[in-house]
Amino acid sequence: MGKKKNKNKVSGAVKTAAKTEKKLANKLKKELANLGEEDIAKIISQIEKEEAKRAAASEKVLTTHPTARAYASLTPHPINNELILFGGEYHNGQRTEVYNELLFYNPVNNSWRLLKAPGAPPPRSAHQAIATSANKGELWVFGGEFTSPTETQFHHYKDLWCFSLAEKKWEKVVAPNGPSPRSGHRMVLLGRKLFIFGGYCDDGRECRYFDDLYTFCLDTRTWEKVVPTGRGPTPRSACIMLPIGNNSLVVYGGFSRVRDGRSERTCTHADMFRLCARAGGWSWRALAGGRGARAGLAAAHNPHANRAYVFGGVADVEETEEELVGEMSDELQVLDLETCRWRPLELRAPAAKPAPETETKSAPEPEPVKEEAVTVVTDEVFTMKLGGVPLGGHSEGPDAGGPAARAAGGPGARMSAMLCVQRSALYVYGGVLEKDDKQFYLTDMYSLDLHKLNEWKTLISQPALPDWLGSDSESGSEESGESDSESDDSEESD
C-alpha cells in the first residue's frame, strides 16, 4: 500500500506566501505606528461601536452649509421636497476625511439639517444610494470605500444599508451571494430591484475592475448574479448607468486600468450599452452615437420626462500610444432615454433691454478670458493634460450649450460632482477641480429650473479655493479623478 497523503500538509509556496504576508503586515504596523494611525479595521470597528450606542435619532438645523466634498450621494427625497446628501470625502493634499453625515436640504427655505440616527453606517465615499417611496420612504446605500486620514490604508465595503425615512433609523441588511467589496460602481432601481454594475477594488496589492451585474430584490431581500447574453461593457468604474422604465438600463463611459503585457495603461471609455429584459433573462446591446471617451461624470434621471442630465467629467480630446490629452468639462447634456441620443442643454437667453434713445454708446471691448493652467499628469506610460477650459466659465464648441448657457453662469468644470433632479429642478453640488497638479474639493451648489431653463441659481457660492497642503509635484493621483475612491470616480469614484 502506498502512504496516505497528509491532507493538512501545506506546500512550500503557500508557506512562503504566508511569511511574506506576515512581513508586510508587520511593516505596515510599524508604518502606522510612526504615523500615529491605527489599523483600518480597528478604526471602522470603533466607529460602528460608537454609532450603535446612539439610542434615538436627533436633528439639528445647520446655520451654514455642508463642508466641501466629492464622491458623496445626492438623492431626491421620494416623498418630501428635499434632497438627501450622504457620505463623501475631502482631501487637502495631506489628510483625507471621510463622512457618514446624513443631511437634508430644503430648497424652499434654502436650509440644511443634520440627522443622526441609531446604527448608522461607517463613513464612506464612492458608494451608491437610491430612495424609494415604499414603506413611507426608504434610502438604500451599497458599497463604497473608507480611506484612512493619511491615505495609507483603504477599505472597500460590500455592505447594504436601508434607512427608514419615517422611523429615522438605519438597518444593516444581511443577505448572502451579493457583490464583492467595491467602490466606483453604479446602481439603479428597475421596478422593485436594485441593479448594481461595475466598480473597482484595491487591496493594496492589486486593483481590480469589475463588469459583473447583480440584482437585489427589495421584496424578498435576496441577491442574484445576472449573466446577460450579448456583448456588454468591459470592466470599469466611474461610468454612468441610468434606468429606462422598469425593464431596461443604459451604461456609458467610465474608467479602468488595462494590463498590456508587462505594462499597465489607463483607459477612458467612450462606448455605450443598453441592457434589456428578454424572455427568460437579460441581454446587452451595444449602442451607436456615443459622445467620446469620458469618465467621472455626474448623472441625474428625470423619470417624469424620460430623460437624464449628464454634467462634467474628464473628456478625451486627443490620444496616442503614449499620451492621452483631455480636459475637465463643464458641459451639461441631455440624454433621451427612449432614443439614447444626446443633445446639449440650451438655456434661453434673457430678453434684451432696449438701449436708451438719448445717447448712443459703443459697446466696450470684451475682456480677454483667462484660461486656467494646463495640468500634466504622467506615470511614465501615460500622460494626461487637464485644463484649458476657462475656470468658472463654459467651454466653447457645439456641446457647450450655446452662448445663452455660458452667459447664465452656473457650475464650472469639475468631475465627480453630485447631481439630482427634484420636482422639475436640477441640482449640482461640489465635486473636484484639478488645477496645477492640485486637487480642490468644492463646496458650491447650484439649481436650474427645468421648465424655465433661463439661468442657473447659485445656492452656495464657492469661496477662494482652499489651501493645498500636498507637494506641487503631486498629480492628484487617483486615476484622473475619483480618487479611485471613485478615486476612481474621477476616474471615477460618483
Region class of 51: left (phi > 0), else alpha (psi between -120 and 50), else beta: alpha
Rounded average pLDDT over 8-15: 43
Helices (DSSP H) in 226-301: which residue ranges?
Answer: none
Each residue's pLDDT tens digit, 332-389 = 999 999 999 999 999 987 666 565 554 444 444 444 433 333 333 333 333 333 333 3
Report pTM: 0.80
Rounded average pLDDT over 408-414: 87
**Euclidean distance between CA atoms 27 and 74, whole angstroms:** 39
Residue 102 near residue 86, CB atoms below 8 Å: yes
At 316 the pLDDT is 64
What are the φ/ψ torsions at residue 46 (nearest 5 degrees)? -65, -40
Closest by CA to 389, choosing from 415, 354, 426, is 415
Q: Quick one: cell of 96?
A: 483625507
At 219 the pLDDT is 97
3-state secondary structure of 4: coil
Parse the chain into domains and list their residue ranges. 36-345+370-486
Given a cut of 70, whether residue 394 has pLDDT beyond it is no
3-state secondary structure of 280: coil
Helix (H) or strand (E) holding 486: helix 483-486
Closest by CA to 235, choosing from 255, 263, 265, is 255
Other CB atoms within a 10 A radius of the CB of residue 113 amount to 14
Looking up cell 439661468, which residue turns up?
Answer: 455
Domain boundaries 36-345+370-486, CATH class: mainly beta
| Better-predicted residue by pLDDT, 322 or 314 | 314
| Better-predicted residue by pLDDT, 35 or 43 | 43
Given a cut of 70, whether residue 76 has pLDDT beyond it is yes
Each residue's pLDDT tens digit, 126-183 = 999 999 999 999 999 999 999 999 888 999 999 999 999 999 999 999 999 999 999 9
Query: Strands across the sheet with 375-378, in order?
Result: 294-295, 314-319, 324-328, 383-386, 375-378
What are the φ/ψ torsions at residue 18 (nearest 5 degrees)? -65, -40
Q: Quick one: cell of 112?
A: 440644511
Q: Quick one: cell of 447?
A: 439649481
Rounded average pLDDT over 413-424: 96
**Euclidean distance between CA atoms 124 and 160, whole angstroms:** 12
**Euclidean distance between CA atoms 336 and 466, whole angstroms:** 37
- Residue % of the chain over a pLDDT of 70: 73
Rounded average pLDDT over 60-84: 97
3-state secondary structure of 47: helix
- Residue % of the chain over a pLDDT of 90: 61
Which of 72-81, 213-222, 248-257, 403-412 is least confident? 403-412
3-state secondary structure of 487: strand
Residue 210 near residue 235, CB atoms below 8 Å: yes
Each residue's pLDDT tens digit, 440-471 = 999 999 999 999 999 999 999 998 888 888 86
Each residue's pLDDT tens digit, 292-316 = 889 999 999 998 889 999 999 987 6
